[in-house]
Structure 1
Amino acid sequence: MPPRRLFAAALAVAAVATGTTAAVAAPPPAPVTTLNDISKPFADTFADPSIIQGRDGYWYAYATSDPLVANGPFGLMHMARTKDFGSWEYLGTVFNDSTKPAWAAPGSFFWAPDIRYFGGRYVMYFTVTDTLANPGGDPGIGVATAPTPAGPWTATDGPVVAPKPDGNGGYFGTIDPAMLTAADGKRYLYTGGFYGGLSVTELTPDGLHSVGTPTQVTVGDRYEGSYVVYRDGWYYLMGSSSNCCAGPTTGYSVFAGRSKSPRGPFLDADGVSMNESRVGGTTVITQNGNKWIGPGHHAFITDAAGQDHIVYHAIDRGTPWLTDPFGINRRPMLIDDIDWIDGWPRTRAGAGPSDTPQPAPTTGSALGIDSTDPAGGLRGATKLAGDSLGGPTASIRGAATTRQSARAGSVRVEANVKLGNSFTTVVGGGAVVVTVGASKVSIVAGGRTTSAPLPADFDRSQWNNLVVEVSGSRVTARVNDAGLGDLYAEAQLGVRGLKVRSAPVSWLGTAEVDNLTVRSVAQPVRRAAAVPVAGKLLAADEFNGALGDQWSWVRPDARAIVANGNLSWPLQNTDLVGGGNNAGLLFHQTPAGDSWIAETKLHLDLGEGDIRNYQQAGMIAYLNDDNFARLGDVSIWRTRQTEFGRELVARPSDGATSYGGAAIGRSAPTMWMRLAYHRNAAGEHVYRAGTSADGKEWTWGASWVLPAGVTPKLGLYAHGDQTGSNPPPVATFDYLRFYASK
């Protein structure tokens, strides 16, 4: 239908709606809150979560195969559901011994389920750690389908992505799947881990087989646990970095890059590729110094108000083990808001994991609509029996309106739909008109129009997801599989001065509708959370003369020389981790007070692309050789990264130590580093790491907490295995300064 005729028809619908005696919208109910960890009602650990909303209104969550509680059995992946994210029902395992994939080797584990809905069925991708083809460790990706999100699940007779030989008699880490339906109408599966990196593989339309040649999208040794969402013209690839499972020293974090293509290249906010030796990645979530450490392996959801949320696992640093130390890690499921700051997803605007009550995802509908029985809240719709999964649905043949008016201003309308040839949604009494036509999605608003094409093979007869959102001056219309960041088409239109008055929402055309919600749009957060800021200079050594009495050594190194305004320190062939406590450390007196920022400028040429483990230099907060946190520029196999590592005694009975690290920012031959210190309410010593490639723009990352009591020393280090370099690289420090915290 041409835009003028479309708009005229929509105005006619709006006029009918205006003529009704629409009730005034009831005031919103009291807000519901969640408290991490949200899996606590039914499980102590629920790792690698993925989540989807079923047509019955429940949100279904799935997790990897660890035992749910201490001394419990390993499951064949777990399922649970909720309607409000506070009350949960455990549903059992995805598979049992008779239904698990026949091609999995005995003893294989099943990890990292990724849940989707398309083609009229639920589709789950998952890791099989070992197959019958090469027993002993050849991971591949399985796929199973089900008529409902609770199953029963039927696995296919072979992997959707087969194990990938590494050429040396082993296999790359073909793990951690995440599926995406893209605007080109194709389906893609992202897989991989630290060994081999992340790749994307095109799938057949039914999602059950891979086709073509995979495309590498990240360098090895950095990312696993991928997840991809489409937003505002960009595909955002997110991956978890560092170690998932080091108990009290777990530094898992999530980073993102974006691309105009689902195949990449994916660049971070600084324009650095995720597929380079000096690897890029913009922080999505990292630990902030509260109880939660190692947040990662996540999924995204969008609630009925349009607020994005990240669902992930993390570890309580006070209770890190599900079993005995160095046994199974206790990784419950958490949830927090995602805010889009300057075009990038940030957990709570960058504040990180929450440990206090937070607003729960908005579920259900306003306007007196029962989202799972929508016909009762509409005029002109016919109630259909529906099916056992979704319950009653609403049939619209001609015109229909909500019985109550939506509030003026921003509004979001979402539904599962089976579409006829044309289906129009009218918001604000005709202020916004969105039509899903035979070949495109169109928007008319403020005298302007825009459209986006639907894929040629788009199946209107199946249940799809339709969103119409008016937020401020922007109108978005999106058709996708199941509201998980994928899409078939998205049209956006900016209209300056757009006014949306209070009016019923109206529809014109043909569709069957389920899970209908109408809500005011969540108020977006645009300002990033506060980060440490350096104030006045408190103390410094610019290395213009010999080291003074404010310096002290542990295991002095005579090769560390102060000359020409620098401290030059060839990397020692030593280490601090585990039993290798033979590295030299140089400490400076710290300022008095409970907060300050230490900064150094470091030049360290570690090359690119070759294997060096683990040459590094930087700053260290140190209690003793088995209790420290160090921030360094470090070579990790073929990558060059900045890492904020932590070691502590994890098993006091025999002094066994645990080490883990959190990645931060980009690496560069010359870089600036900061450790922001403060003492928390419990008297613990908290250090947050920051890095910069120019000394001006800072990336602030993870925090580590050292125990209350003796104040740790603060200083410099330079060490690592010298294999691959002769002579050893030289760490050149320009200064060490201490600033007041603003």
Structure 2
Amino acid sequence: MPSKRRLLAAALAVAAVAAGTSAATAAPPGTTTNAISSSFADTFADPSIIQGRDGYWYAYATSDPLVANGPFGLMHMARTKDFSSWEYLGTVFNDQTKPAWAAPGSFFWAPDIRYFDGKYVMYFTVTDTAANPGGDPAIGVATAPTPAGPWTATDGPVVTPKPDGNGGYFGTIDPALLTAADGKRYLYYGGFYGGISVTEVTEDGLHAVGEPTQVTIGDRYEGAYAVYRDGWYYLMGSSMNCCAGPTTGYSVFAGRSKSPRGPFLDADGASLNESRVGGTTVITQNGNKWIGPGHHAFMTDAAGQDHIVYHAIARGTPWLTDPFGINRRPMLIDRIDWIDGWPRTRAGLGPSEGPVPAPTTGSGMGISSTDPAGGLLGASRQPGDALGGPSASISGAARTRQSAPGGSLRVEADVRLGKNFTTVLGGGAVVASVSGSKVTVVAGRRTASATLPADFDRSAWNKLIVQVSGSTVTARLNDAGLGDVYAEAQLVVPGLVVKSAPVAWLGSAEVDNLTVRPVAAPVRRLADVPQTGNLLAGDDFDGDLGPAWSWVRPDDKAVVADGKLSWPLENADLVGGGNTAGLLFHTTPSTDSWIAETKLNLDLGEGDIRNYQQAGMIAYLNDSDFARLGNVAIWRTRQTEFGRELVVRPSDGATNYGAAAIGRSAPTLWMRLAYSKNAAGEHVYRAATSVDGKNWTWGASWVLPAPAKLGLYAHGEFTGTAVPPVATFEYLRFYESK
């Protein structure tokens, strides 16, 4: 039974939420500490985010209770100006305003927020419709005049439920919109059952049109989010299980394409829509307190720094209520670094645990971003409206009262454009103009242009960004700064010098939410990963198994011959109560850190249905506490999975199992497990895979309570195969970790 102290704390938290007050101490100025939603909520899952013209950043979340013992909401809203202090704004819907076409018991999940055509547009999952009560998910849409509402749902779904042909429905869930350079709007949606698809929607965003295109295979991705950058469309999705409590291994992966309809390929050229599924890691857990980072959105701050907003689970407090209750998934934020053309969270370090620099907000140079006319010469102040405070009207010429610093600079504003509008940086070193149907940049005697969509509405509020980052100059028009694009002109000018000078504008426009900031210094190198040093121990299987080896449940079908260990997959398992699989262990080095490596040959085929046939490496304490790295078949996919099982209810020994995906499956796969201790002295096992034995993808970490045995396994079900596949291990070696 909950203690009185716990119930009182929950009641106080609910009261604070209801009053819209802060219930926790804010982070030091200029920094933020995960979880950023902790001042008003214990869980704020599947977050999306947008900046309003009032300068606030508005965040939205799925319909879980905010705090222990609290009621389910109808999606939640909160806002901040500095990402340290937050104000809870209530729910998106109430019982009177929620979609009339939703079944009475339906939940509302995964809001995606956008702004275009003078209104805020929110897409969301409706888990059950009144047309087919019992579980036929669909995508709903609602509009509002301000980011805080009031929200008006349309009278039907924007994407209707999709029957699976077997009496059920595919997972029409987790929407995300992108406005593309062809002037069309695209809605991505879907999940593990049926894959992610993309459909065009009407200009107002309220109706799907045409035929959808499937862009990821089923069984691997959900929680889509798409952005446009440097000529590429990036599709990101979350993989594995969002909600397995302390064994949640949720992670985010990306592919990119020249078309918003794909195909989306990862950094190694593997497709997100094939059996041996691809995906380049955006974020995964790193061995600190946070596990299961995923279902994310992107935002770009006033310094041009991208950030990922996501949920994760603190492995020490994974449940909102009791075990097997609601997962506690607060909102987190971290820096995104674009390295070799790919988004990486903190250069590959993953979720942060301590204080980190907060997103840069507001403007420098004495400009009040939400009342910009006071910081400009030649501009007149216009009255505010329902969306924001006073704006600045420019007609003819205007400039900042202060000089902008030289070097890399970002100028960003919400604009309503006249016929011609030009931004001038560095006293003329960079000129960016929106004129006629073109966006053009000129610098260092070089010119680049991009064509606006034919129906681009200059009179509507849009986002204009002019940025100099080193030698790269970019001018971009889009909806709301969320990775979408109407047109982007970009050029590279080696040796470009932008001197200190006022920012100047020529032509006519209404300007609001104006920021002028130096550009954040980009990080261009991935964080260090474990490297192998001297060989410490191991076996190349050139003779019988020696005394360094030991078994749990010996399997006499595992044979050492011809320089390899050949092991037909056992029809067995190691999850839950199915502790029937054999395990073969080798003694580990006595050092505080090492790397174990094996080379595995296992042909699991492609495309056919197989469930959980697998082989690989295992860090094992007992049958209910282990971490397992395997090349595994899951339905039609072939994946590499680093799974974790542990006891979550000691009273009856109930266990949980979850997993993180790492790299790509292949018939021949190299695997590594790196052992170390974290700052708390806990035992961390980090996994890596390789398809060539040279280039390694390092992925998720699991923390075990004690040093584990390290060994090999080979087991699974045999649906769809008459003869068990044979796993052959060519060696197991232990190296120094450096």
The residue identity in structure 1 corresponding to 2:721 is: S
Which of the numbers 616, 631, 634 marks the counterpart of 1:633? 631
Partner residue in 2 for 1:313: 311
Partner residue in 1 for 2:428: 430
Which of the numbers 383, 399, 402 marks the counterpart of 2:400? 402
Q: CA deviation at 1:450?
A: 1.2
Q: CA deviation at 1:98?
A: 0.2
- Structure 1 residues 354-373: aligned runs within 5 Å: 354-373=352-371
The residue identity in structure 2 corresponding to 1:721 is: E
The residue identity in structure 2 corresponding to 1:367 is: M
Partner residue in 2 for 1:16: none
- Structure 1 residues 465-484: aligned runs within 5 Å: 465-484=463-482
The residue identity in structure 2 corresponding to 1:280 is: G
> In the alignment, does 2:199 pair up with 1:201?
yes
Partner residue in 2 for 1:381: 379
Distance, in Å, in 2 between the alignment partners of 1:143 and 1:113 is 9
> In the alignment, does 2:551 pair up with 1:553?
yes
Distance, in Å, in 2 between the alignment partners of 1:288 and 1:448 is 44
Partner residue in 1 for 2:84: 86
SS of residue in 2 equivalent to 1:631: strand
Partner residue in 2 for 1:666: 664
- Structure 1 residues 201-600: aligned runs within 5 Å: 201-600=199-598
SS of residue in 2 equivalent to 1:375: helix
Distance, in Å, in 2 between the alignment partners of 1:443 and 1:674 is 48
Partner residue in 2 for 1:9: none
Distance, in Å, in 2 between the alignment partners of 1:723 and 1:421 is 65
The residue identity in structure 2 corresponding to 1:527 is: R
Deviations 1:11-46 (A, max 9, x none): xxxxxxxxxxxxxxxxxxx96000000000000000
CA contact (8 A) 1:80 1:88 kept: yes
> In the alignment, does 2:716 pair up with 1:730?
no
SS of residue in 2 equivalent to 1:429: coil
Aligned residues: 711
Deviations 1:150-197 (A, max 9, x none): 000000000000000001110000000000000000000000000000
**Structure 1 stretches lacking a partner, 5+ long:** 1-29
The residue identity in structure 2 corresponding to 1:662 is: A
Q: CA deviation at 1:562?
A: 0.1
SS of residue in 2 equivalent to 1:87: coil
TM-score, structure 2 as length reference: 0.96
Partner residue in 2 for 1:151: 149
Deviations 1:127-154 (A, max 9, x none): 0000011000000000000000000000
**Structure 2 stretches lacking a partner, 5+ long:** 1-27
SS of residue in 1 equivalent to 2:384: strand
Distance, in Å, in 2 between the alignment partners of 1:60 and 1:626 is 42
Partner residue in 1 for 2:67: 69
CA contact (8 A) 1:80 1:90 kept: yes
SS of residue in 2 equivalent to 1:615: strand
Q: CA deviation at 1:684?
A: 1.7
Q: CA deviation at 1:449?
A: 1.0
Q: CA deviation at 1:682?
A: 2.9
- Structure 1 residues 24-35: aligned runs within 5 Å: 32-35=30-33
CA contact (8 A) 2:108 2:127 kept: yes
Q: CA deviation at 1:723?
A: 1.9
Distance, in Å, in 1 between the alignment partners of 2:29 and 2:427 is 28
CA contact (8 A) 2:409 2:518 kept: yes
CA contact (8 A) 1:311 1:335 kept: yes
Distance, in Å, in 2 between the alignment partners of 1:447 and 1:256 is 36
Distance, in Å, in 2 between the alignment partners of 1:556 and 1:599 is 22
Q: CA deviation at 1:673?
A: 0.1
> In the alignment, does 2:60 pair up with 1:52?
no
Q: CA deviation at 1:536?
A: 0.7
Moved more, 30-39 or 41-50: 30-39
Partner residue in 2 for 1:739: 735
The residue identity in structure 2 corresponding to 1:740 is: E
Distance, in Å, in 2 between the alignment partners of 1:651 and 1:334 is 27
> In the alignment, does 2:161 pair up with 1:163?
yes
The residue identity in structure 1 corresponding to 2:500 is: S
SS of residue in 2 equivalent to 1:430: coil
Q: CA deviation at 1:653?
A: 1.4
Distance, in Å, in 2 between the alignment partners of 1:449 and 1:279 is 40
Distance, in Å, in 1 between the alignment partners of 2:287 and 2:206 is 42
SS of residue in 1 equivalent to 2:612: coil
Deviations 1:364-386 (A, max 9, x none): 00010000000000000000002
CA contact (8 A) 1:280 1:666 kept: yes
Partner residue in 2 for 1:712: 708
CA contact (8 A) 1:282 1:665 kept: yes
The residue identity in structure 2 corresponding to 1:524 is: P
Distance, in Å, in 1 between the alignment partners of 2:494 and 2:484 is 28
Distance, in Å, in 1 between the alignment partners of 2:381 and 2:681 is 61
Distance, in Å, in 1 between the alignment partners of 2:332 and 2:162 is 32
The residue identity in structure 2 corresponding to 1:348 is: R
CA contact (8 A) 1:181 1:187 kept: yes
The residue identity in structure 2 corresponding to 1:412 is: R
SS of residue in 2 equivalent to 1:353: coil
Deviations 1:628-662 (A, max 9, x none): 00000000000000000000001111110000000
Partner residue in 1 for 2:641: 643
The residue identity in structure 2 corresponding to 1:194 is: F
Q: CA deviation at 1:570?
A: 0.3
Distance, in Å, in 2 between the alignment partners of 1:137 and 1:414 is 44
CA contact (8 A) 1:47 1:331 kept: yes
Q: CA deviation at 1:698?
A: 0.2
CA contact (8 A) 2:288 2:678 kept: no
Q: CA deviation at 1:680?
A: 2.5
Distance, in Å, in 1 between the alignment partners of 2:471 and 2:387 is 37
Deviations 1:453-507 (A, max 9, x none): 0000000010000000001111000000000000000000111111100000000
Distance, in Å, in 2 between the alignment partners of 1:520 and 1:244 is 37
Partner residue in 2 for 1:21: none
CA contact (8 A) 2:287 2:678 kept: no
CA contact (8 A) 1:571 1:728 kept: yes
Distance, in Å, in 1 between the alignment partners of 2:232 and 2:64 is 34
Deviations 1:313-353 (A, max 9, x none): 00000000001000000000000000001100000000000
> In the alignment, does 2:103 pair up with 1:105?
yes
Deviations 1:574-624 (A, max 9, x none): 000000001100000000111000000000011111111110000000000
Q: CA deviation at 1:64?
A: 0.0
CA contact (8 A) 1:650 1:656 kept: yes
CA contact (8 A) 1:31 1:359 kept: no
Q: CA deviation at 1:438?
A: 1.3
CA contact (8 A) 1:202 1:210 kept: yes
SS of residue in 1 equivalent to 2:373: helix
SS of residue in 1 equivalent to 2:383: strand
SS of residue in 2 equivalent to 1:133: coil
Distance, in Å, in 1 between the alignment partners of 2:678 and 2:138 is 45
Distance, in Å, in 1 between the alignment partners of 2:128 and 2:548 is 56
TM-score, structure 1 as length reference: 0.95
